[in-house]
Structures are given as structure tokens and as C-alpha cells.
A and B are shown apart, each in its own frame.
Chain A
Amino acid sequence: MTKNTKTSSDACESCAIHNAAALHKLGVDMSDFDYVIALSGNPNTGKSTVFNALTGLRQHTGNWPGKTVSRAEGGFEYGDHKYKLVDLPGTYSLLATSLDEEVARDFILFGQPDVTIVVVDATRLERNLNLVLQVLEITNRVVVALNLMDEANRHGIQVDERRLARDLGIPVVPMVARQGEGVPELLQAISDVANRKTVGKPYRVKYDSPELKKAVIEVTKQIESAYPELPNAQWVAMRLLDGDERIAEALRKGELGDLTHGNIEHRSAQMQVIGNQ
């Protein structure tokens, strides 16, 4: 890069390929990280493969759902920042009916990661978007890693990632993680969201049933006026309507409100608590 003139290097710096050279896989060294990144996704979409590609760790990957049941953590350095990456259990939803869903949900909700990556199987978009929409209800700091693009092509399925990105309101990165394709672009997208260069305008689920719609709007309004700084009032409303005691308790204790202004030390303490559960 030394030969570049100033003007061309300006252009280069915004380009993912240029910056990929700046990736330092830190393995398990996670000292003094600047950002926390959560890695979620349906089972068997290649989450662990993405995890390994970013951290340089060799977490065992297996071709069957439910392989990662506990959280794995690793670190990487990109640009001027150190990132801590947390691999969550693969789940189809965040309704928290089983332990693995609860672990994933609690981390995205209470751990307040700076970016949540949702790894998505391009060949099974419909089912995978279920989870994406649920994550978007909780946080707008999301990047979709549209993985297994090679398999989609093999099955003759074409996915228009730009259209998808526009509809969801967040960055979408097509990938073949097994071959390392799309990793530079993913890193760039993560960095942009973490540094607030990209701010998502997340899609919100439309609740069709009239009674449901009315109930959601009503409770959301009350929550918004009581907790104006809460980023995910509609989702909290849904959970309260569902009688989710854990969320009611979190509101009572201020776990949801406090954290929107929480600093990193506060957050890591919070994560420690979740990790010990």
C-alpha cells in the first residue's frame, strides 16, 4: 500500500478488500476489547465456521444441528479496534422455550453486544428470517451473514442480497464461510455498525390480527413513555403480553433501561453473570 497516492488510498480505506489485511486473529486473547460481537443464527448454518474464520480458533464444527450448546468466545483485531466475538447456541427463535434459546436471547438482550451477527442459510431463507426478524425487534445493530451462497447456487436459488438488505434495513453480506469468501466484507460491515458508520433502520414485524395489533400498540406506548431510552419497546411489549416473568423482572430491576447507557465494564460484568447461569 505504500505506493498508493493519497487520493487512491482514501478510496481504498473504505474498501473491504483493503482492510482485510488488517485482520489479526487473536484466538482466545480477549484482553482490552473495544467491542462485543454476538454471533447468532439457526442451527447448522455455519456459525462456528464464521467464528473460526474471524478468530483463527479451531472450534470443532459439525454438520448437525445443536452442536454448539454453550457459548464459545474468541477475539480478533480489525482496523484500530479489538473485538470480542461470542458464539451463541444455534436457535430457530428467541421465544426462550428451551435453555439454548434462553442463553442466546439473554445475551443479545442483557449482554447488549455492539453488533449481533445473524448467520443465515441462503438456501432456507424463509425459516432463517424468522430469527432475523426477532433479533431486529431487540436491537438494530445487526449484520446478516448470508452464508452457504454456494449451496444456494448449486440448487439454482438466487438471492438478491441488496433487496434483502433494503427490506430488512441492515447490512447483508453474502458469504461462503467454508471457503473464506465474504469474510473481508463481513469484517467491514461489523466495523461500520460497531463504529456507528452504519445505523440500521430495522424492519418491524406487522401484527396482522386486530386485537393483537391494538394490544401491542397500547402496551408499547405505555412502555415508551415510562422508559423513553429503551430501544426495543415493541419487543418488550410483546414479551409482557406473553406473560414473560423474566422480562417483567428485568424491567423492575432496571436491567433493560440501565444498560442502554452502560459502559463496557458494566457490560462485561453483566455478561459474567449470564455466563455463570
Chain B
Amino acid sequence: MTIENTTTLENILSTAQALRWEVGIDFHEKVTESIYTDAVKIADRATTRPEEKPRFDFDRKLDQILTSRVWGFPLMLALLMIVFWLTISGANVPSSMLANLLLDTIHPMLKNFAANIGMPWWLDGFLFDGVYLATAWVISVMLPPMAIFFPLFTLLEDFGYLPRVAFNMDNMFRKAGAHGKQALSMTMGFGCNAAGVVATRIIDSPRERLIAIITNNFALCNGRWPTQILIASLFIGALVPAQLAGFVSAMAVVGIALLGVFLTFLSSMFLSKTWLKGEVSTFSLELPPYRPPRIWQTIYTSIIDRTLVILWRAIIFAIPAGAVLWLSANITIGGTSLAGYLINFLDPFGLLIGLNGVILVAFIVAIPANEIVIPTIMMLTVLVTGASAGEGTGVMFELESGMETMALFEAGGWTLLTAVNLMLFSLIHNPCSTTIYTIFKETGSKKWTWVASLAPVLLGFAVTFVVAQIWRLVASIL
């Protein structure tokens, strides 16, 4: 570019600068107005509307109910309950069928095969008790609930329900000093926090976007649903008669999800009152028309795009985790395994917050994928207690029935408090490594990535600590 050109450009810029003042401060409004006026003119010429009013506007009627002050929230909870109840009760049968096939049929076959060809014990153990079983467990536990949950959720989304959820919660978010659109990114977080963090791009203001990114962790993600569902059905469902168990477990899971929403508000409010002070920006949320969901297409895409993709991710992380766990449980120094040392080291702190060393180790192992928390816990519990319920030291397994799993947990010194605190900690603790990486990419700031990763862990410790103290206090009085 020549110097002459540069001066022309600077001339133009200064002309623009000067003229801008002549137009006045409402420059933006004038421009927008001009565009809008022309748009209306062109649209009017091309459109013919019916003279008479439509007799019955289905969409509007439905919106009046779904977003009403009275019915909006109860209906939202009812829908959530139905989705979870269908997921919990529908996943049991296929889950145990898969477990039968993968764990009780194929696994012994592999072991026999290894014995027949004279495979050394460590290779056999490493491959079939470590790697294979970890994978098989993740598939049998995760595939059925996901294959039910995702299509149901996607049908609601396709129908147009999600923006109504956002509409219902908009006011609460604004009161918390955050952006109403955060309701949408939070809803995405219920599927996957990394996706939720990316979805915050729809929020204009950097301040409010940062709040939405940091607090997205409290939207219970799909990797954590199985943990909640399993623990709720074993410990909470067991408190009531069998007919009610399914319903009560679903209630417990919804309760945890709602606590997550509550924590989202609370932490958003805290951030917007402290480090991220600022004005709340307004926006108009468009309620799109309801559309009849395309059932087959939805089922197809949600199984291919969501279920299998997420399952694949879980398997990828379960394979090395299974291998490492088997090794750390079988490599011993002075009679104690590597895993044993770590567990013993963390145990005092774990017990202080109503958990135990095994659970804390499991959460560390599961940083890449929350899905493998429960398999890890079970394997490590066998290792520590020496319980005979499993297939040997260092094996990730699915026990045949809930009763056996329960017996295993009890052998590990679990109480109802352990179960409740595990559910709480699973909700609150740090995001998975994929989400942390996404947060770093979206914020471009190491500082905020640290905050978003560490603050939840500290909050998780604080909450479980307080719950444990109160619980023990009440228990000692009773």
C-alpha cells in the first residue's frame, strides 16, 4: 500500500468521524430503523395475510400453559420426572441382559481361552480382567440409559420445549445478575458440559458469558447421570417399599439435578456481586413454533450422534483406566499395592467429609471421564476390603444383582451418608478434562480456567464436609 493510499484512508476515516457527530448519538437507532422500515415495506408487498383471525391458535394456547407462572415449573418438573423414570426403569432390563452377555458369558470364555493356550497370568489378567472388563462394564451400564435418555431429550428439543424452559428460568437468571440465555447453555450442559460451554457463545456480553462458562459445571452432565441413578436406586430407593423404589430414586436424581440448578443461580449471583460485577443486558428470547417431532429421524440421530459418540469416548478412557487400575492393584511394594498406598493416604481426609479414600481416588482416576467413577470405586473397594464378591483383585466388574453391589459397598464401610455425599460430590466436583480444555479454548484465559476447575472442587469439599458434620451431630443426638 502506498503512502498516498494511506493518507486517503485516514482522510476518509476522519470525514466519517466528523460526520458521525452530525448524525447524532442515535446513529445506531436511525440505521436499524431505516433497515427495518424497508424490510417491513418489502415484506408487506410480498405477503397476503388472512383477513379473519385464526379460530384457535394451538401454539399460543400451549405457550400460555407451558410458560405460565403457575404451571410452568410444575410441568417442567413433571416432564423431567417422566424422562428419568422412563430411563431408570427402562434401562434395568437391557442393562442386565448386556451384563449377562458381556460379563457372565464372554468374560469366562476369554478366561478359558487364555487358560487353554497357556497365557501367563499377568497378561491374562491385564487384558481380560483389566482392559476387557472395564470396557464391558462401561457399555453395559451406560448404553441402555443413554439410548433411552437421549432420544427422549432430543424429542423434547425437536418439539420446541427447550426455549420454554429458558423462558421460565430467564427471570431467575436475571435476578442472579446473569444473562437469561444462560438457561439455554445450562440446558445444553445437562447433556454435556463441554457442549454447554461452547453454547455460551450465544451470550453477547463477556461478563455474563464468563459467568455462564464457570457455572456450567453444575448442570449435571450425562457422564454423571449413571452414577446418580445407580447410587439413588441402591441406597435411596432401598429406603422405601419396592413398589415405590423406582419413583423415589427418580425423585432423588431430579432432586440432585435441581440442586445443581440452585447452585448455578447461587454461584452466578456470587460472581456477579464480586469479581464479575456489571449491568445485566437485556435480550429478546424468541419462542419458536412447536413442530411435530420427526420421531424416527430423532431416534436415529440421537443414537448415532450422541449416544454412540459419548459411549465411544467413555470406552476410550475406560480402556487405559482399566489397565492402570489392574496394574496399580497388582504391583506391590512391601506387601501393599500402589493403589493401597494412595487409598490409605487419602482415607483420613475422605472420612472427614463423609466419603473415603477409595472414592477420592476414583474421582482422580475419573478426571478424563466421569463415567468410570462407579466401576473404579467397586474395583478399589474389593481391593481394600478383600471382599470375595468380585472376580479377583483389580477387576472392574458388574455384580449380578443390586443386593451384591450393596453388600460390597457395606463391606467397604459405606453408610447412607457415604451415598448421599457421593451423589453431592459427583454433582459439585471439578469438570472433566474435556470440559476444562474447552473452557480454556473459549475463555483463552488460564486464570479463569483455574477458577472454573478448582472452585467447584473446593465447594464440593465444603458441602460434603458440612453435610457430614451435621449428619454425625444429628446421629449422635438421636
Q: Which residues on A are within 8 Å of B, measured CB to CB?
A: 43-44, 58, 60-66, 69-70, 89, 93, 95, 97-100, 123, 125-127, 129-130, 132-134, 151, 155-161, 163-164, 167-168, 178, 203, 205-209, 211-212, 214-215, 218-219, 222-223, 226, 237-238, 240-243, 248, 251-252, 254
Q: Is the interface of B mostly helix, strand, loop or mixed?
A: helix
How many inter-chain residue pairs (CB < 8 Å) link A and B?
182
Contact of B47 (CB < 8 Å), options: A125, A211, A215, A251: A125
B157-173 to A contact mask, C-beta < 8 Å, 1/0:
11110110010000000
Q: Number of B interface residues at 8 Å Cβ cutoff, please give it.
A: 68
Contact of B23 (CB < 8 Å), options: A66, A161, A241, A248: A241
List of B residues within 8 angstroms of A248 by Cβ: 13
Given contacts A63-B291, A155-B54, A219-B15, contact A226 B9 (CB under 8 A): yes
List of B residues within 8 angstroms of A61 by Cβ: 158, 301
Does A203 contact B38, Cβ atoms closer than 8 Å? Answer: yes
B387-403 to A contact mask, C-beta < 8 Å, 1/0:
00000000000000000
Given contacts A156-B49, A241-B23, A242-B28, contact A64 B162 (CB under 8 A): yes
In this complex, which of A66, A69, A98, A248 has the most chain B Cβ atoms within 10 angstroms of its Cβ?
A66
Does B47 contact A157, Cβ atoms closer than 8 Å? Answer: yes
Contact of B1 (CB < 8 Å), options: A43, A129, A206, A254: A254
List of A residues within 8 angstroms of B49 by Cβ: 156-158
CA distance A242 to B28 in the complex (A): 7
Does B201 contact A212, Cβ atoms closer than 8 Å? Answer: no
Q: Which residue of A lies closest to B157 (CB)?
A: A62
CA distance A61 to B22 in the complex (A): 46
Contact of B184 (CB < 8 Å), options: A66, A158, A209, A212: A66
Given contacts A130-B39, A240-B12, contact A212 B286 (CB under 8 A): no
For residue A233, give the distance in angstroms from its CB to the closest CB of chain B: 11
For residue B28, give the distance in angstroms from its CB to the closest CB of chain A: 7
Contact of B40 (CB < 8 Å), options: A126, A163, A208: A126
For residue A129, give the distance in angstroms from its CB to the closest CB of chain B: 4
B204 within 8 Å of A by Cβ?
yes
List of B residues within 8 angstroms of A252 by Cβ: 1, 6, 9
Does B157 contact A242, Cβ atoms closer than 8 Å? Answer: no
Does A209 contact B198, Cβ atoms closer than 8 Å? Answer: no
For residue A90, give the distance in angstroms from its CB to the closest CB of chain B: 9
B355-396 to A contact mask, C-beta < 8 Å, 1/0:
000000000000000000000000000000000000000000
